[in-house]
Amino acid sequence: MAMASPVLRRWTPTPSPTTPLNVASSIGGEHETGRGVFLTWRDVSVTAVDEKGRHKLILDQITGCARPGQVLALMGASGSGKTTLLDTLSGRLGVDMNGTGDILINGRRKRLSYGTSAYVTQENTLMTTLTVREAIHYSAQLQLPGSMLLAKKLARADRAIREMGLGAVASSRIGGRVCKGISGGERKRVSICMELLASPGLLFLDEPTSGLDSAAAYHVMAHIARLARTTGTTVVAAVHQPSTEVFDLFNGLCLLANGRMVYFGPTPEAAELSNEDLNSIISISTNEDLVDEYNYLTASSSSG
């Protein structure tokens, strides 16, 4: 079936100027968000260029969307392009990469303004000698606006500590390889907690559960899913081989294989897929339901 394609300008790495987004302004239970952040992307392709000027296609015409209050999982084998897609969507593509396609925030092309999005990379870069509370308090003092009273910054930090379930270890030293401190899952939650202090409407997570056992992975993802639900934060997370319990926490799934998208849709349906179904999905080059969804989101958020 032929689809009428929406009239959209091509996306380039230097998008048009921004207007402030109406995004979630709190990490806590109170839902202060207006409309949240609808992130949509269509026909996103990325090529890497080496020193000799040779091009390598890393992502091939990826289309998808992420909704406020939901967790979209990016899955696929190692090298399938998950990190590259996160980098592209968050505007952090390396200088040796070229991106084309459309990326829309609430239906419009705009650069992610400061504080709108946060990106938690796979590596933990934490001060091992600090306690959890000290690290998050310092981070709040550095990240939050100078006009905010210190007491308010610290109150927000304490609330973030509770929200990420770190209250019991707030006084524990973070530690590292040499001096043992908090667990790997707790360390990951500290990293995420620091990024959430500025209350981003959009959260990108690269492998938030890698290196964790299944219980710790579940704890981390359950906190993130609850946060998304209660604050309306839009979460896009690259995840490698999640357990069934973790998989059930996701609202949507984008499955990549060798830089191509082979499935996009809600996870319950994806979980029902047999190998035969999956093979037929892989052979379909365009998911028309997704195009419909994209058009709907684009139209409804532009008119809203």
Ligand X SMILES: Nc1ncnc2c1ncn2[C@@H]1O[C@H](COP(=O)(O)OP(=O)(O)OP(=O)(O)O)[C@@H](O)[C@H]1O
| Residue 58, binding choice from ligand X, Mg ion, none, Cβ under 5 to 8 Å by partner class | ligand X
**169: CB partners within 8 A, 6+ apart:** 132, 182, 186
Show Cβ contacts of residue 241 under 8 Å, excluding neighbours closer than 6 positions.
none
In terms of CB distance, is 48 or 222 closer to ligand X?
48
**Could you say whether residue 81 binds ligand X (CB under 6 A)?**
yes
Q: Among 12, 16, 55, 79, which residue interacts with ligand X (rule: CB under 6 A)? A: 79
Q: Are strands 260-266 and 252-257 parallel, antiparallel or unpaired?
A: antiparallel
With CB under 6 A as the rule, give the number of residues binding ligand X: 15
CB 118 within 8 A of CB 191: no
58 is a site residue for ligand X (CB under 6 A): yes
Question: Binding partner of residue 30 among Mg ion, ligand X, none, CB under 5 to 8 Å per kind?
Answer: none
Stretch that binds Mg ion, among 75-83, 140-148, 256-264, 278-286 (CB under 5 A): 75-83
Cβ proximity to ligand X: between 81 and 181 the closer is 81
Q: Is 94 in the site for ligand X (CB under 6 A)?
A: yes
**Quick check: 153 binds ligand X (CB under 6 A)?**
no
Provide CB contacts within 8 A for 88, sequence distance 6+.
41, 44, 46, 59, 99, 103
Residue 105 and residue 66: Cα distance in Å, rounded? Answer: 10
**Run of H or E including 143:** helix 132-143
What tokens were used for 231?
A: 């604050």
Q: Which amino acid is at 127?
A: M
The answer to the question of residue 269 lying near ligand X (CB under 6 A) is no
CB-wise, 21 or 39, nearer to ligand X?
Answer: 39
Of the residues 6, 12, 29, 56, which one makes contact with ligand X according to CB under 6 A: 56
List % helix, strand, coil for the chain (3-state, nearest 5). Answer: 35, 25, 45
Q: Which of 14, 78, 283, 303 binds ligand X (CB under 6 A)?
A: 78
Q: Does 80 bind ligand X (CB under 6 A)?
A: yes
Among candidate residues 207, 161, 203, 204, the one with its CA nearest the CA of residue 186? 161
CB of 63 to Mg ion, least distance (A): 20
Interface pattern 224-263 for ligand X (x via CB under 6 A): ----------------x-----------------------
Q: Which one of residues 6, 12, 30, 96 is an interface residue with ligand X (CB under 6 A)?
A: 96
Residue 124 beta carbon to ligand X: minimum distance, rounded to whole angstroms:
16
CB 152 within 8 A of CB 141: no
Choosing among Mg ion, ligand X, none, which partner's interface includes residue 96 (Cβ < 5 to 8 Å by kind)? ligand X
Positive or negative, the CA dihedral 130, 132, 137, 138 is positive
55 is a contact residue toward ligand X (CB under 6 A)? no
**Distance between CA atoms of residues 117 and 89, nearest Å:** 10
Interface contacts to Mg ion, rule CB under 5 A: 82-83
